[in-house]
Amino acid sequence: MNIGRKFFSAIDFITLVPVLVLVALGLVTLFSLDHESFNSQVIFTIFSLAAFVLAINTNPNALKHYDVPIYIVSIVLFAIVLILGIESRGSVRWIEIFGVRIQFSEVLKPFLAVSLASYLSEVKSTSLKNFLQILLLLAPIFILIFLQPDLGNALIYAGVAVLALLIYGFPLKYFVSGFLLWLVSFPLLWFFLHDYQKQRLLTFINPSQDPLGTSYNAIQSVIAVGSGMIMGKGLGQGTQSTLRFLPEHHTDFIFATISENLGFIGSGIVILAFCFLLYRIYVTFVTSEDSFSKNYALIVFLLIFIHFFMNVGMNLGIVPIVGVTLPFVSSGGSSLLSNFIMIGLLFAVGKSSSRKKVLEIG
């Protein structure tokens, strides 16, 4: 009885509500499209909820002391993916374990968030030396993910790192200098991009140049979103998604699928759920007393926000297509597992911070 009470007291049910709404909306959409994808996602959801329960019961104060091992193991796993990973559509992003494909660039996000949060909590100054040291530590992770190639996750990791360091208080001049250096070196970086990545960027600038080729996904997505109008065409009735005019309708473009089937009402629910979830994470960030808890909440906020912004932006044609999932909604076990662990650890961090506050008052 006491164990059950202790477990439920650790759950922030107000924050959990938008998560469950997003999961339910994703499952309903998948059920209307493809029963096989739906069945797989149900199994992934069960495993993810189990991981969520384990994460809630984690002691974050103990976990944060493993920041260095987490960092080293992550680099090793990313390297193993490049060597032994499974190739699919020109990318090597997955390792198959007992018949299950695992994408480490997704699964490791909550743990690397812990590692970065712990490291930042030990940083005593915002000197250039500390700034460069952090960038040097993050560079191998970014490079190994970029080489898979997984441009979407590489951009997410880089975006989270830059914004986290900026909010942490590192001088703006460091980032301006870095941006100028990036502009100067862009021709060299362009050389390392794969042809399909170059085409995606070029067709984003001018979608009409290849409407049946590299611009096809973006155009079909915008058509799907617009055709849903206010009420939508009904579950399973969308022509773009049901008839497969829209590729990846259950993963990267599930927002467009929801918009077509459930209209502005459905897409509006998705947007409101994310806004409320982000607000609740922000509350955890503001109310956290210790630096580790505050840093972790900030990183989780940035991870979910950038994922949400990039995915919806791709679906609306305002962001280049880089292959980013919609958290808790898109089909995919690695992404779902990662996000549930992330939220579970957030609850554990919030519980730990609240307990410290009570002890200080006492």
- Note the pLDDT of residue 360: 47
**Is the pLDDT score of 244 beyond 70?**
yes
pLDDT, averaged across the chain: 87
3-state secondary structure the chain: CHHHHHHHHCCCHHHHHHHHHHHHHHHHHHHHHCHHHHHHHHHHHHHHHHHHHHHHCCCHHHHHHHHHHHHHHHHHHHHHHHHHCEEECCEEEEEEECCEEECHHHHCHHHHHHHHHHHHHHCCCCCHHHHHHHHHHHHHHHHHHHCCCCHHHHHHHHHHHHHHHHHHCCCHHHHHHHHHHHHHHHHHHHHHCCHHHHHHHHHHHCHHHCCCCCCHHHHHHHHHHHHCCCCCCCCCCCHHHHCCCCCCCCCCCHHHHHHHHHHHHHHHHHHHHHHHHHHHHHHHHHHCCCHHHHHHHHHHHHHHHHHHHHHHHHHHCCCCCCCCCCCCCCCCHHHHHHHHHHHHHHHHHHHHHHHHHHHHHC
pLDDT average, residue stretch 212-233: 84
pTM for this model (two decimals): 0.90
- Note the pLDDT of residue 4: 57
**pLDDT tens digits, residue range 303-354?**
999 999 999 999 998 888 888 999 999 998 999 999 999 999 999 987 765 5
**Is the pLDDT score of 10 beyond 80?**
no
For the chain, the structural domain boundaries read 23-361
- Note the pLDDT of residue 362: 45
